[in-house]
């Protein structure tokens, strides 16, 4: 790790936090892409109605 001895519990806690961070980043990234796609579709529909 950082050149220091860490206990099993500390390593486990750090690993669990990293896993939670990765999955939450994926979740929010997927949600962001979904929202961007929805907004793009709404813009295109509004442009088609206004044209």
Task: Please give the pLDDT value at position 3.
Answer: 55
Taking the CA atoms of 32, 37, 43 and 46 in sequence, report the sign of the dihedral they define. Answer: negative
Alpha carbons 10 and 47: distance in angstroms, whole number:
55
Give the model's pLDDT for residue 30: 87
Residue 49: per-residue pLDDT: 87
Q: Cβ neighbours of residue 19 under 8 Å, at least 6 residues apart?
A: none
| pLDDT tens, per residue, the chain with 51 residues | 455 778 999 999 999 999 999 999 998 888 898 999 999 999 999 999 876
The CA angle 36-38-43, to the nearest 5 degrees, is 95
* Predicted TM-score (pTM) above 0.75: no
Predicted pLDDT at 51: 60
What is the reported pLDDT for 5?
Answer: 78
């Amino acid at each position: 790790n950082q050149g220091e001895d860490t206990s099993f519990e500390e390593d486990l806690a750090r690993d669990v936090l990293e896993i939670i961070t990765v999955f939450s980043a994926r979740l929010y990234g997927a949600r962001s892409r979904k929202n961007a796609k929805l907004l793009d579709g709404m813009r295109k529909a509004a442009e088609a109605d206004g044209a």
